Structure 1
Amino acid sequence: MRAGAGHAPVAADGCLAMAAGPKDPAGRFGPFGPGRTAKPVQSVKSALPADPAQAARPGKSAAPAGAAVPRQRPRPDKATRRRLRRRVRVAGVAIDPMTETEVVDHAVAALKRGEGGHIVTPNVDISRAVARDEALRRLVEGADLAVADGMPLVWAARLLGTPVPGRITGADLIWSLSEAAAFYRYPIYLLGGPPGVAEQAAVRLVDRYPGLLVSGVDAPPYGFEDTPEGYERIREAIVAAGPRVVFVGLGFPKQDRLIAALREELPGTWFIGCGSAIAFAAGAVRRAPEWMQRSGLEWLFRLLSEPGRLARRYLVDDLPFALRLLTVCLFKRLFS
């Protein structure tokens, strides 16, 4: 076993070595934390099949050609679950008015019942895509929880008189849900980012939360979803690892289509479509200072950091959409 300075020990086979679980940090997890003990879960080594032809399990057919990632399948109890929650509709997207702590508590309570789910974090870019594509709208609506990752959506909800508590990003949830997973010994899986980034994110998460079980990490090659073999390799690796929480950082809608395809095989697992959160957690990409996050200027920080990649998305596509959204909401507030 080898260990780097300041990092969790890493076994010779590449698996992260985990320490004993921590105590509940000051009752962070509300009614689901203090005084509760979870049984240890064995960490599972994850590896993609060396031969794609070996990826398909007996009795399981690969995704059909031209549709490597199947469409989302409806869950029978979805309507019942939604009626139990009050959602706020902003820019055509139904948002759950929850705090980050409430999201974590909701997921933990479901995990204790053996139930999984899907968290989507709509921002301006996702809202713009949903407004133009009915299939993407259904994809977002099919998630168990939708929380606002974007201050324009928070501001729009306030203007409409249906405020949400605040912004909740995938970059925040990767830490808070991992903290809860460490306490309850629920193994997590990190999927996304360039090669090596998910591994580094796992090391940093374990450094922060000793006892966190990382059942696998993976960096799918570009275009993996275009072939049945590419999708099947990812599916096999995740199912074999058996995680209870999976962070999928492949960007919308790719990550959420993959989540929709995997949920039936892992019904007791929570999937979080988290965009760049894995890269943020790894330290490969810097996040904006907190004051910029709070004031809705994180997009500007990212634009200045990666102008070539983000200029069109932010300045040509998202900014006009956000301004129109806020203008419409203001008029509704003033004249309705």
Structure 2
Amino acid sequence: MKFRIKSTEIEVNLPDAAALLAEVGQRFEAGTGFALATINLDHLVKLRSSEVFADAYAAQDLVVADGNPIVWLGRLAGRDLSLVPGSDMVLPLARLAAEKGVKVGLVGSTEQSLARAGDEMQRLVPGLEVAAKIAPPMGFDPQGPGAEQVFAGLEAAGVGLVFLALGAPKQEILAARGREQLAGIGFASIGAGLDFLSGAQKRAPKWVRAIAMEWAWRMLSAPGRLVPRYARCFAILPGHMWRSLKMRSTR
């Protein structure tokens, strides 16, 4: 499934969680790094207005569908995609890292949240080594000198997998930059995944997610911030639906 944003083409190149874990496992064994992004409608909105974000997304090695609208658009285009939210992949990726003897680093959120998330991950994943926990200061610029300090800390800790919880577009921009500078490290952008583990944020109940209404649950929890965001997301849907149908007709 491909999305063209102006001159940038972005492809969802892994159809489901099993394919993602298989690919990451191979990269762990080969000592090859990667940048993983989980695309959703909000990202597609942001990509239209930020050339820096678009360039960072184009540099991602692995892209999965995070959001039912992306899955549905894929199916309209004739691609069988499954939902792979970044927050759902934290523990599976951590288990894979533990199996392969890969150290993990956490970047983003707050020091308190990272400490709790790290403890919870090690409790749930026996043998996992969380070797670095870095909470950048407010106003952190992934293109600025502060990023070099983050990279230095990760390299010194010997990590092979980093969970980035900075939110879009910061986490994807940092992942693209890290992928270029630290070729042996995998960078996974997972949004609020660490805050869910630490309890700093509450996720929608499983039954809400099962009926594809997590977006509504989130919107009701913060309407002032999220109603305008979702309005922008819905506004771009018709155009992407039309392009998906055109892709299907040419397959």
- TM normalised by structure 1 equals 0.67
Q: 1:325 is matched with which residue?
A: 240
The 3-state SS of whatever aligns with 2:36 is: strand
Q: 1: distance between equivalents of 2:135 and 2:36?
A: 20
My pick for the range that moved more, 243-252 or 264-273, is 264-273
> Letter of the aligned partner of 2:169 in structure 1?
P
> Letter of the aligned partner of 2:235 in structure 1?
P
Any residues of structure 2 matched to 1:126-145 within 5 Å, and which? 126-145=43-62
* Among candidates 154, 174, 182, match of residue 258 of structure 1: 174
Which deviations, in whole Å up to 9, do the C-alpha atoms of 1:139-196 show, x marking residues without a partner? Answer: 21211111010110110111122232x1111101111100111222211011111331
Q: 2: distance between equivalents of 1:293 and 1:252?
A: 21
Change (3 A) 1:112 1:226: closer
Indicate conservation of the 8 Å contact 1:90/1:157, yes or no: no
Any residues of structure 2 matched to 1:263-274 within 5 Å, and which? 263-274=179-190
Indicate conservation of the 8 Å contact 2:15/2:64, yes or no: yes
Q: 1:208 is matched with which residue?
A: 124
Change (3 A) 1:309 1:230: same
Indicate conservation of the 8 Å contact 1:97/1:163, yes or no: no
**1:102 aligned to 2:15?**
no
**1:197 aligned to 2:113?**
yes
Q: 1:36 is matched with which residue?
A: none
Q: 1:74 is matched with which residue?
A: none
Which deviations, in whole Å up to 9, do the C-alpha atoms of 1:256-277 show, x marking residues without a partner? Answer: 2112222244211110011111
> Letter of the aligned partner of 2:212 in structure 1?
G
My pick for the range that moved more, 88-97 or 183-192, is 88-97
**1:125 aligned to 2:34?**
no
In terms of fraction of residues, the more strand-rich structure is: 2
Change (3 A) 1:327 1:186: same
**1:180 aligned to 2:103?**
no
> How far 1:137 sits from its partner (Å)?
2.5
**1:153 aligned to 2:70?**
yes
Change (3 A) 1:325 1:241: same
List structure 1 runs of 4+ shifted beyond 4 angstroms: 226-229, 330-336
The 3-state SS of whatever aligns with 2:39 is: coil
Unpaired runs of 5+ in structure 1?
A: 1-87
Any residues of structure 2 matched to 1:183-332 within 5 Å, and which? 183-225=99-141, 228-314=144-230, 316-326=231-241, 329=244
Q: 2:2 is matched with which residue?
A: 89
> How far 1:335 sits from its partner (Å)?
11
Q: 2: distance between equivalents of 1:320 and 1:130?
A: 14
Q: 1: distance between equivalents of 2:29 and 2:142?
A: 35
Q: 1: distance between equivalents of 2:30 and 2:143?
A: 35
My pick for the range that moved more, 122-131 or 221-230, is 221-230
* Among candidates 163, 175, 197, match of residue 80 of structure 2: 163
In terms of fraction of residues, the more helix-rich structure is: 2
My pick for the range that moved more, 135-144 or 321-330, is 321-330
Higher Rg of the two aligned structures: 1
> Letter of the aligned partner of 1:142 in structure 2?
A
Q: 1: distance between equivalents of 2:109 and 2:211?
A: 27
Indicate conservation of the 8 Å contact 1:195/1:219, yes or no: yes
Number of aligned residue pairs: 247
Indicate conservation of the 8 Å contact 2:107/2:135, yes or no: yes
> Letter of the aligned partner of 1:224 in structure 2?
F
> Letter of the aligned partner of 2:233 in structure 1?
D
Q: 1:25 is matched with which residue?
A: none
Change (3 A) 1:301 1:327: farther
> Letter of the aligned partner of 2:18 in structure 1?
T
Indicate conservation of the 8 Å contact 2:28/2:100, yes or no: no
Indicate conservation of the 8 Å contact 1:121/1:148, yes or no: yes
The 3-state SS of whatever aligns with 1:121 is: strand
Indicate conservation of the 8 Å contact 1:90/1:156, yes or no: no
Indicate conservation of the 8 Å contact 1:182/1:209, yes or no: yes
My pick for the range that moved more, 286-295 or 299-308, is 286-295
Q: 2: distance between equivalents of 1:184 and 1:334?
A: 43
Q: 1: distance between equivalents of 2:4 and 2:217?
A: 24
